[in-house]
Amino acid sequence: MSELRPRSTARSIKPAGIARHGRLRKSGPWGGLFAFIGAALAVLLVSTTAVAGIVGVQLYEQTDVVTLVGDTEGPPPSIGAYPGGFNMLIVGSDMCESASGCEGRGKANLNDVTMLLHVSADGTNATAVSFPRDLVVPIPSCPKNGGQTAAMAGRPINETLYYGGLACTVLTVEKLSGLKIQFAGLITFNGVIQMSNAVGGVEVCVTERIDDKYVGLHLSKGTHKLSGRKALAFLRSRHGVGDGSDLTRISSQQVFLSSLVRTLKSKDTLGDPLKVYKLAQGATSSMTLSKGLKQLDTMYSIAAKLKDIPLENVTFVQFPGRTGVTTPAMYAGKVAPIPDRVNALFAKIRADEPFKLAQVGDENGGSVKNPNAPKPTDSPSSTSTAAPIKKDTLAGIKGQTAADYTCSIAN
């Protein structure tokens, strides 16, 4: 497979050598959001112990740093919750990390996962938006190797990491959402493996048996605790869930994410200092952080902002898109935005207004309510002392909250 080459005009059509997704790559990672939030919470706890200075330096010396457009060297916030709201982009890279190479893989480094986390100014709620990797979007001119790449009218969003690195993915999502992104992080395959192991596994349920030979996932009907490569296979599985599309896969991935957040906030995880340290170590050892996140004080402040948000106020949504659009031709075989729903979603986020979804999960796609979900009195979210907040219903947006127990629909 030939390597991608940046185009010289904004009318660039089709880069050479892009890997298609009929067969999923076994070594491509997912899970940037859970690893990143896990690292934030872990660093929060680790940094409040007597060994904070040593541990903080050890962990943060492991990370690489990238400068975003507009990054400054301003002072970090004071210790405490981050002042005001913020936006964080989490990217999962499919970079090959094997010294001997990865069979069947080209040289293009793509962002298989792109997620935008918005945290409200008052710290009462958070929204995570998942962007399908085949979503066709305008890509702006991006800085690269001391120059600028050409803007492109419409290319899959997962090509942005190749064209201009993490900074280019950030610029693209900023243009698409109308939000300023203050922080960004990129995590690779090894980080996801280590994080899923460190948390002790995440419980997921499936409606029927899953046999996905492309990622090596074989699960019987029911509930399973997944870690390591099996967790990755679950997150990567497209042929095994829903209708086999990227859109229903996102819905299935949210089954894992909501369970992961419940696991992270449980006393069994956050009350175990060794597990907390392993979480932070696993994430930071395979991460690239934007300059604003490199400072331990900043990560501490972000974690302090995140840690007390009730589960029912952490909402995972899928970027509104659809397949089957053939005009214009750039959407053929890809995902096209649904403009009115996109505008409604980001208007709410930009206004810092919480919302609720018309339905939990995507009953025609990748997930459904778990019929064996615990009663509200048994759920971790029921321990929240925060006052309920008023939420308008946002129609046509698929997703769920971290408090919702759902199951992946087997294909």
pLDDT in tens, 267-281: 666 566 676 667 666
pLDDT surpasses 60 at 141: yes
Mean pLDDT across 179-201: 79
Q: Of 229-243, 257-271, 380-394, where does the model show the most confidence?
A: 229-243
CB atoms within 10 A of CB 213: 10
DSSP, collapsed to helix, strand or coil, labels residue 30 as coil
The rounded Cα 234 to chain-centroid distance in angstroms is 15
Q: What is the mean pLDDT of residues 347-360?
A: 90
Q: What would the mean pLDDT of 336-364 be, rounded to a whole number?
A: 88
Of these ranges, 41-45, 159-163, 258-262, 385-389, the one predicted with the greatest mean pLDDT is 159-163
Other C-beta atoms within 10 Å of 64: how many?
Answer: 12
Element (H, E) at 186: strand 183-187
Mean pLDDT score, 101-128: 77
- Amino acid making up residue 147: G
54, pLDDT greater than 90: no
Tokens found for residue 337: 């935005």
Q: What is the mean pLDDT of residues 178-194?
A: 79
Q: What confidence score (pLDDT) does residue 402 get?
A: 86
Find which of 87-96, 156-165, 285-294, 336-345 is predicted with most confidence, using mean pLDDT: 336-345
Secondary element (H or E) of residue 392: strand 392-394
- Within 13 Å and on the Cβ side, how many CA atoms surround 57? 3
Q: What average pLDDT does the chain have?
A: 75
**What's the confidence (pLDDT) of residue 7?**
40
- Between 389 and 38, the more confident residue is 389
**Interval 121-130 mean pLDDT:** 91
pLDDT over 50 (residue 47): no
In single-letter form, the type of residue at position 288 comes to T
Whole-number percent of the chain with pLDDT over 90: 30
DSSP notation for 110-155 = -EEEEEEEEE-TTSS-EEEEEEPTTBEEEE---EETTEEPPPEEEE
At residue 194, does pLDDT exceed 60? yes
pLDDT at 157 over 70: yes
Between CA 3 and CA 10, with CA 6 as vertex, the angle to 5 degrees is 145
Q: What is the pLDDT of residue 208?
A: 93
pLDDT of amino acid 80: 56
Q: Which of 50-59, 279-288, 302-311 has the lowest mean pLDDT?
A: 50-59
pLDDT of residue 285: 65
pLDDT, residue 239, reads: 87
* Higher local confidence (pLDDT), 30 or 298: 298
Mean of the pLDDT values across residues 154-165?
Answer: 92
Numbers of helices and strands, H then E, in the chain: 10, 22
User: Which residue bears the tokens 């048996």?
Assistant: 209
Q: Per-residue pLDDT averaged across 80-99, rounded?
A: 72
Q: Regarding beta strands 287-290 and 64-66, do their DSSP bridges make them parallel or antiparallel, or are they unpaired?
A: parallel
Q: What is the mean pLDDT of residues 334-359?
A: 93
Question: Which residue has better confidence, 32 or 154?
Answer: 154
Predicted model pTM: 0.78
Compute the radius of gyration of the chain from its Cα atoms. Answer: 20
Question: Topology of domain 32-96+104-374+389-408, per CATH?
Answer: Aminopeptidase (3.40.630)
pLDDT at 81: 61
Residue 11 pLDDT exceeds 60: no
pLDDT of residue 168: 94
Q: How many C-beta neighbours within 10 Å does residue 339 have?
A: 9
Binned at pLDDT 50, 70 and 90, residue 350 comes out as very high
The pLDDT of 12-22, averaged and rounded, is 40
Distance CA 328, CA 146 (A): 33
Spatial distance between the Cα atoms of 189 and 28, rounded to a whole number of angstroms: 6
Note the pLDDT of residue 294. 66
Query: What is the amino acid identity at position 86?
Result: F
Phi and psi at residue 223, in whole multiples of 5°? -105, 140
Regarding predicted confidence, which is higher, 183 or 247?
A: 183
Q: First CA to last CA across the chain, in angstroms? A: 30
Kindly give, in sequence order, each residue whose CB lies less than 8 Å from that of residue 381, ignoring residues fewer than 6 positions away: 262, 310, 311, 312, 402, 403
Give 301 or 217, the one with higher predicted confidence: 217
